[in-house]
Structure 1
Amino acid sequence: MSRRALTRLVSLAVVLAVGCLVVPDSAVHPTRISLTKVENARSVDFADDVVWILVLGSDARPGQDLDEGNTDAIHLVGLEVPSRRAAGIGIPRDFWMQLPDGLDRINTAYEEGGGELVAALVEELVGFAPHYVMAAGFDTFRDLVDTVGGITVHADEALPDLGIRRGRNDFDGAQALDYARNREFIRGDFVRSANQQQIMIGILRQLLVREDEEGFIEGGAMAALQGLSTDLPPTDLYRLAQAVTQIRPDRVTTCILPGTDETTSGGGAVLIPDADAARRIGDDVRDDARVDGDC
């Protein structure tokens, strides 16, 4: 590791440690980001193990608790720090699954049982549990894109009404949010989930472009702490932040869990997960955070 990189990581550690001590909790600042450890998750060695984070995007309105909305973005993200590699597994929001109160879409689970319930459902799909759950509102997502200075995304389909063309698009936060939430695609939920993955990669790419700017990473970390609700100690926050900044965008592989269209007895359109394919994909990525097989 270079001296500059080491200095930046030390600075980030100090910001996180001090910030957790001096920033008022979510009783003062509305919770914008929730980051929690999954209750039954085993301890993870950031230097040797794949770290799995369940990332949820809540559509709760500003001022509402995150769990008052549906999670219209659900992604299982694995970080393999030694190789600077990552994998993203998208879970369509309309997967029809057994929840404690009956069959429902998986995107309602966060409101019903919090991150632990969503983590359990994802474990049922892929065969292993995430270590952490991170939830954020879409306004936080929009602000993050603006904070990094906008992102570049390649679109496979044009959306003229949104000013999105096929090929390269440069998005600010509002445009990225519109793109992430739009379902006007031939394959609906599957394409939207894939678009969300491309936006996350775009954010990572832009973070790495700007990481050497003095104060950029530290300022972003302090901003994130405003409204952060977490049960993680500063050491774990630092390790997670360090892990993210070690990943190379060109070493990120992605996949969307497959399923088939179905109509419920009430007439709603849902997706039935392909259980065998989901488990096969989970087995593929679990230990190395790399999508090798068909997806």
Structure 2
Amino acid sequence: MRPGPTRARPLAALTSMATAMVTAAALLAACTGDPEPRAGSAAPTAGAGAPGATATPSPTPPVEGAPADLTALVERLYAGKDLGRAANAETTRALATGSTRSGGGSAGGGVPADARAAVGSWFGTPIAVVTAGEDVTLAVGKRWQVVGGWWPSLGVDAPVVGGGPRWVLAVGSDARRGQDLARSRADTLQVVGLDGKGGGGVMGIARDLWVTLSTGGKGKINSAMALGGPQAQLRTVRAATGLPIEGYAVIGFEGFTTLIDDQGGIPIVVPETVDASHARIVIEKGPQVLSGKEALAYARERKTLPDGDFGRSRHQGQLLLAAAVKAKLAGPIAVPGALTSFSEVGRSDLTAEEMLTFAAGLYRVNPTQVGRGVAAGPFGWAGSQSIVVLGDQARRLFASFEDGNLS
């Protein structure tokens, strides 16, 4: 007898899951190494508490979870010192225009006592997020450089996260076990955008959309990666949409399930029950926490959907938004761990600075200002191939996304 379909688990409390993620991220950050004593820190002297003795000021607390060189950089930041090459141009300009330096961020006041760091890696490049109250500092590199963040305590409320509009292409590879992740067809194509003003969008692209390929000739848009790799896929999507997409992030089936399970699943509200017939999984309508296997089934099912591949692309957009909401609840401190996990199973041409600032930018987005759409079109034929014709609906969607916002 064949096993019956499995059913997705009911949703545990979303807040509890987010709290668990934050706790896990903090523990991982704390395990990166004990901070070394910093140069210039005052040490308590014997007899400081004796009557008549001069009290010795307590040393500035270290940045929990940060290596010594990162701690030293954060000290310079909060002391109001010129960071020089240890900050990118955008960060330098923002810090220079800070209206006040009060409270924990006052010049010479030291690092706030609640400062803590999470350290990870993006394809071999160290990355870090340091939080202190409402402040967030983003750093990358073997010689740490501040590449963004936001610092209300330093009078810098506006986020430094690469500006906007910005777009990244998320690609799900159709590669099976043993196949090249980057030279298979794209099973999923989603463009994630940020407008730099608190809004954004997620735009799915029908994989059978018939377009001019960057590798030459015409074909289904998802064939570009199999013919020329992720860069060819990126160039093809750029040309078809007219959007100056920064780069790509590619992941395969196994990597996708591993990444979702490593992050504790995806909390999502499923609009309608989905019978993922290809995977023999039924995902019930309502709030769920999808495992990696369940999320993959939800992202790939199309045969039982009334609008087929268009509905499939819509599901993929829902998963991306659900993941973004979960990440927002976990807080920026969870970013290095998530990016480290991705870089172990996926591929990307985005630099550490580009990816870190883009991911951090998601935390500045108002969920009510994030729209969704699917670049669809009428069905047609190219020879013996069933295709989706690139028509007015898709072109209007591309045009509406030019500001990085689909809301």
For Structure 1 versus Structure 2, the TM-score category normalised by the shorter chain is 0.7 to 0.9
- Decide which of 201, 206, 219 is 1:104's aligned counterpart: 219
Per the TM alignment, residue 235 of structure 1 is displaced from its structure 2 partner at its CA by 2.8
- Alignment partner of 1:282 is 2:398: yes
- Decide which of 201, 212, 215 is 1:87's aligned counterpart: 201
Per the normalisation by structure 1, the TM-score is 0.76
Higher relative contact order (CA 8 A, sep 6+): 1
Q: Which residue of 2 aligns with 1:127?
A: 242
- Alignment partner of 1:48 is 2:167: no
Matched residue of 1:88: which SS? strand
Per the normalisation by structure 2, the TM-score is 0.56
Contact 1:261/1:272, CA 8 A, preserved across alignment? yes
Q: Which residue of 1 aligns with 2:52?
A: none
Greater Cα shift, 136-145 or 231-240: 231-240
- Alignment partner of 1:205 is 2:205: no
The whole-number CA distance in structure 1 between the counterparts of 2:189 and 2:386 is: 18
- Alignment partner of 1:170 is 2:289: yes
Cα offsets for 1:144-171 (capped at 9, x unmatched): 2222222233334323452223333331
For these two proteins, the number of residue pairs brought into alignment is 259
Contact 2:248/2:349, CA 8 A, preserved across alignment? no
Please give the root-mean-square deviation of Cα atoms over the aligned residues, in Å: 3.0
The whole-number CA distance in structure 2 between the counterparts of 1:243 and 1:86 is: 10
Cα offsets for 1:233-286 (capped at 9, x unmatched): 4333332332234334443211111211123432x3221121x33332222221
Contact 1:19/1:222, CA 8 A, preserved across alignment? no
The whole-number CA distance in structure 1 between the counterparts of 2:183 and 2:293 is: 22
Per the TM alignment, residue 231 of structure 1 is displaced from its structure 2 partner at its CA by 4.8
Change (3 A) 1:257 1:235: closer
The whole-number CA distance in structure 1 between the counterparts of 2:123 and 2:382 is: 51
The whole-number CA distance in structure 1 between the counterparts of 2:123 and 2:395 is: 41
Matched residue of 2:406: which SS? coil
Matched residue of 1:75: which SS? strand
- Decide which of 70, 77, 84 is 2:192's aligned counterpart: 77
- Decide which of 362, 386, 395 is 1:269's aligned counterpart: 386
Q: Which residue of 1 aligns with 2:266?
A: 151
Letter in 1 for 2:306: I
Greater Cα shift, 227-236 or 117-126: 227-236
- Decide which of 354, 357, 363 is 1:239's aligned counterpart: 357
Q: Which residue of 2 aligns with 1:68?
A: 183
Cα offsets for 1:127-146 (capped at 9, x unmatched): 22211111111222222222
Change (3 A) 1:283 1:143: same
Change (3 A) 1:114 1:154: same
Change (3 A) 1:101 1:233: closer
Change (3 A) 1:241 1:57: same
Change (3 A) 1:181 1:229: closer
Q: Which of 1 and 2 has greater Rg?
A: 2
Contact 1:148/1:207, CA 8 A, preserved across alignment? no
Matched residue of 1:163: which SS? strand
Q: Which residue of 2 aligns with 1:218?
A: 336
Matched residue of 2:224: which SS? helix
Aligned-pair identity (%): 27
Change (3 A) 1:18 1:271: closer
Change (3 A) 1:211 1:21: closer
Letter in 2 for 1:204: A
Change (3 A) 1:210 1:137: same
Contact 2:257/2:296, CA 8 A, preserved across alignment? yes
Stretches of structure 1 lacking an aligned partner (at least 5 in a row)? 23-44
Contact 2:378/2:388, CA 8 A, preserved across alignment? yes
Contact 1:53/1:133, CA 8 A, preserved across alignment? yes
